[in-house]
């Protein structure tokens, strides 16, 4: 039911071209997954998302468990049916959200006790529970429950945390009963290369359908993030997809693909859209800037999205200043088009051997 096929390895970088087959269709890798936290990619109609060429989305276990409740999603026939999206979905394990949103958390061998960020209700999440919830949600790809190690952390804390993640990974694998869901393991190890190696080897030895790299993009420098990504990817098997969680900027995508990553998710295109920051072929645009008040040119003349085709910067600025809902809609359409189109360009560049050229182009625009 799940198959990862490696089509090509780039000759000058560690970039890979592949495809991952899931029960809801085939995903071309490298891939970017728009984030649909609450069973909706914020400010996007599902009908529009398909039009932009999104192949797979991510949804958040933690959020859906709290609201509407995974039992309701299960009774609705699963997440695909609930949200009317019939392409692949990946759910994260809730680990990251427990650590970034959960209040008063207490970690033990059994799991994590914390309080809901919505109503303060006490919650106890364990590896078994995280799998149960994800089985209720019914995504194509589910992920092990882990501790996302804070940054910075001492070697000792990071090692203990990583070892807990390893024990939890085994429990997750044991708890899983559905065979129509792929399970990804998560490599931790903080900013310590030897721990990253140890974690990768241990998680691989347990054996999963794919491998996620967690605990990065948590405050460290870009160089450190790229280094940890490259080190970790080096210990992951070639014949499984590699997913770098929660990353990143357009340049991050290109840099990390060139270090061997196949899958990404990030709130950046959607969140920035709602903050009025737009990604274009010429760099970032803050649409509220007064200089766009009478700028009747399109946002990005290299972009073919509805926003760029049908509206001017002056209009986009106007609806942003007026806080119109359409502003969120049009900005999100554009930013997701930018990300999804960038990923397509990366795939073409791996195909024709011009990956490094594209990387230089992105560096020039974004650094």
**Distance, CA of 48 to CA of 215 (rounded, Å):** 32
Nearest C-alpha neighbor of 29 from the set 18, 43, 41, 15: 18
CA atoms within 13 A on the CB side of 148: 24
The correct pick among 17, 112, 261, 319 for binding a second copy (CB under 8 A) is 319
The SS3 call for residue 220 is coil
Q: Nearest distance from residue 106's CB to a second copy, in Å?
A: 27
Contact letters (x/-) for a second copy, 327-346, by CB under 8 A? -xxx----------------
Contact letters (x/-) for a second copy, 23-62, by CB under 8 A? ---------------xxx-xxxxxx---------------
Total Cβ atoms within 10 A of residue 310 = 10
Q: Which of residues 127-156 bind a second copy (CB under 8 A)?
A: none
**Does the footprint of a second copy cover residue 304 (CB under 8 A)?**
no
CA atoms within 13 A on the CB side of 147: 28
Total Cβ atoms within 10 A of residue 89 = 25
**Does the footprint of a second copy cover residue 267 (CB under 8 A)?**
no
Q: Nearest distance from residue 300's CB to a second copy, in Å?
A: 17
Q: Which of 10, 140, 209, 265 is catalytic?
A: 265
**Does the footprint of a second copy cover residue 116 (CB under 8 A)?**
no
Would you say 293 or 364 has its CB closer to a second copy?
293
**Does the footprint of a second copy cover residue 76 (CB under 8 A)?**
yes
DSSP state of 35: B
Cis, bond preceding 152 (omega within 30 deg of 0): yes
**Does the footprint of a second copy cover residue 72 (CB under 8 A)?**
yes
Q: Of the listed pieces 81-89, 150-158, 187-195, 341-349, which binds a second copy according to CB under 8 A?
A: 81-89
Phi and psi angles of residue 8, each rounded to the nearest 5 degrees, phi first = -160, 145
Q: Of the listed pieces 12-20, 119-127, 185-193, 314-322, which binds a second copy according to CB under 8 A?
A: 314-322
Could you please report the per-residue DSSP string of 134-183? HHHHT-SEEE-------SS--HHHHHHHHHHHHHHHHHHHHH---SSSEE
Residue ranges in contact with a second copy by CB under 8 A: 38-40, 42-47, 63, 67-68, 72, 75-77, 82-84, 293-294, 296, 306, 310-312, 314-315, 317-319, 321-322, 324-326, 328-330
Active site (catalytic) residues: 92, 265
């Amino acid at each position: 039911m799940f198959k990862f096929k490696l089509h090509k390895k780039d000759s000058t970088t560690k970039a890979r071209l592949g495809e991952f087959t899931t029960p809801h269709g085939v995903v071309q890798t490298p891939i970017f997954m728009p984030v649909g936290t609450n069973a909706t990619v914020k400010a996007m109609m599902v009908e529009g998302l398909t039009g932009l060429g999104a192949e797979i989305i991510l949804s958040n276990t933690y959020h859906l468990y709290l609201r509407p409740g995974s039992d309701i999603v299960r009774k609705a026939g699963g997440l695909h049916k609930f949200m009317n999206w019939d392409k692949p979905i990946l759910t994260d394990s809730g680990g990251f959200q427990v650590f970034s949103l959960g209040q008063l958390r207490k970690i033990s061998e059994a799991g994590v006790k914390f309080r809901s960020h919505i109503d303060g209700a006490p919650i106890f999440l364990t590896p078994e529970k995280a799998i149960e919830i994800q089985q209720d949600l019914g995504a194509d790809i589910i992920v092990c429950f882990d501790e996302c190690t804070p940054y910075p952390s001492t070697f000792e804390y990071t090692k203990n945390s990583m070892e807990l993640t390893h024990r939890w990974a085994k429990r997750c694998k044991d708890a899983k009963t559905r065979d129509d869901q792929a399970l990804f393991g998560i490599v931790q190890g903080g900013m310590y290369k030897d721990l990253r190696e140890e974690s990768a080897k241990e998680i691989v030895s347990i054996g999963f359908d794919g491998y996620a790299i967690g605990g990065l993009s948590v405050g460290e420098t870009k160089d450190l993030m790229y280094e940890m990504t490259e080190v970790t990817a080096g210990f992951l098997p070639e014949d499984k997809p590699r997913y770098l969680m929660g990353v990143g900027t357009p340049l991050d995508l290109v840099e990390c693909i060139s270090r061997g990553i196949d899958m990404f998710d990030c709130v950046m295109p959607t969140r920035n859209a709602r903050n009025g920051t737009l990604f274009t072929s010429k760099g970032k645009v803050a649409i509220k800037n007064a200089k766009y008040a009478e700028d009747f040119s399109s946002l990005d003349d290299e972009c073919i999205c509805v926003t760029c085709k049908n509206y001017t910067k002056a209009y986009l600025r106007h609806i942003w200043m007026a806080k119109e809902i359409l502003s969120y809609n049009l900005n999100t359409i554009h930013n997701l088009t930018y990300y999804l189109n960038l990923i397509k360009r990366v795939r073409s560049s791996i195909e024709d051997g011009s990956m490094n050229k594209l990387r230089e182009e992105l560096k020039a625009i974004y650094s």
